């Protein structure tokens, strides 16, 4: 695991000298082909005093009749936080979920205290989305259904994935931001570097030996990065 341009650290704790205050609430957003259960290894190991939720993205729940829209999904997340009485919370998103998380931070900067973007894109290429749709066509619907995922919803999300264009708004993200990507995720490493360079003060972490599903392929390394960034390092519990 390595990072680009490491921040100054405190000699006493090894943590950033002027790091953000600990998160008070965390929302985990799944990616394409994922579900709320994608974050089980992260949510289950959070400290008891840190509430969290991992919802379905709007339009992605199996059996739902809503069409997926990135703008609607982001608005739904922000509304859910307000209804839960959360004025400011951390958002962690993977792949498509990272795009929704980024949209939340752009649309309502004051509502996001910490932003963690995992294998995200700021401007997904048409070629990449076309390739993902092509590969999905050959994946058995039963296999996805066994994981609680709808093939029809995935195809719809990929068709609408090119509606996001956050590249010109990254400088509007006002919260501490951690960008994580598996070093072997060649499709998303360039995008992760671009996001980290464009979001003010963002930090990039590339996890050696991991690919697109870094939180599953390198759970211990990913969790250490995540919990430390949120203000709850494992060695201080």
Domain boundaries, the chain: 21-231
Cβ atoms of 57 and 29 within 8 Å: the answer is yes
Give the model's pLDDT for residue 187: 83
For 21-231, CATH gives: 3.40.50.1820
* Cα distance between residue 102 and residue 97, in whole Å: 8
Tens-digit pLDDT string for the chain (237 aa)? 554 443 333 333 334 445 679 999 999 999 877 889 999 999 999 999 999 999 999 877 777 777 778 888 999 999 999 999 999 999 999 988 998 999 999 999 999 999 999 998 876 555 554 545 444 454 555 554 444 555 455 555 555 555 555 556 898 999 999 999 999 998 889 889 999 999 999 999 999 999 999 999 999 999 999 999 999 998 887
* Cα distance between residue 213 and residue 70, in whole Å: 21
Cβ atoms of 229 and 202 within 8 Å: the answer is no
Give the model's pLDDT for residue 136: 46
- Report the b/e string of 20-51 with b at 16+ CB within 10 A: bebbbbbbbbbbbbbbbebbeebbeebeeebe
Give the model's pLDDT for residue 70: 83
φ and ψ of 118, to 5 deg: -110, 120
Cβ atoms of 85 and 35 within 8 Å: the answer is no
Give the model's pLDDT for residue 93: 97
Give the model's pLDDT for residue 168: 64
Check: pTM over 0.85? Answer yes or no. Answer: no
DSSP secondary-structure letter at 230?
H
CB atoms within 10 A of CB 12: 7
């Amino acid at each position: 695991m390595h990072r680009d341009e490491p921040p100054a650290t405190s000699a006493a704790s090894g943590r950033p000298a002027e790091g953000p205050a600990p998160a008070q609430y965390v929302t985990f957003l799944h990616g394409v082909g994922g579900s709320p259960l994608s974050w089980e290894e992260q949510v289950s190991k959070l400290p008891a005093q840190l509430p969290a939720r991992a919802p379905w993205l709007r339009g992605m729940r199996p059996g739902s009749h809503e069409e997926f829209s990135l703008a609607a999904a982001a608005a739904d997340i922000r509304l859910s936080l307000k209804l839960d009485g959360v004025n400011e919370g951390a958002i962690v998103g993977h792949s498509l979920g990272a795009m929704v998380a980024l949209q939340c931070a752009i649309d309502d900067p004051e509502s996001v205290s910490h932003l963690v973007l995992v294998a995200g894109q700021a401007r997904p290429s048409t070629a990449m989305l076309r390739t993902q749709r092509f590969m999905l066509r050959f994946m058995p619907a039963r296999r996805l259904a066994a994981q609680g995922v709808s093939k029809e919803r995935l195809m719809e999300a990929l068709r609408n994935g090119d509606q996001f264009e956050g590249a010109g708004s990254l400088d509007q993200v006002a919260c501490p931001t951690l960008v994580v990507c598996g070093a072997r995720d060649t499709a998303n490493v360039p995008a992760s570097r671009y996001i980290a360079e464009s979001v003010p003060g963002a930090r990039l972490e590339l996890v050696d030996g991991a690919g697109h599903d870094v939180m599953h392929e390198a759970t211990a390394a990913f969790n250490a990065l995540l919990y430390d960034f949120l203000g709850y390092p494992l060695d201080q519990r």
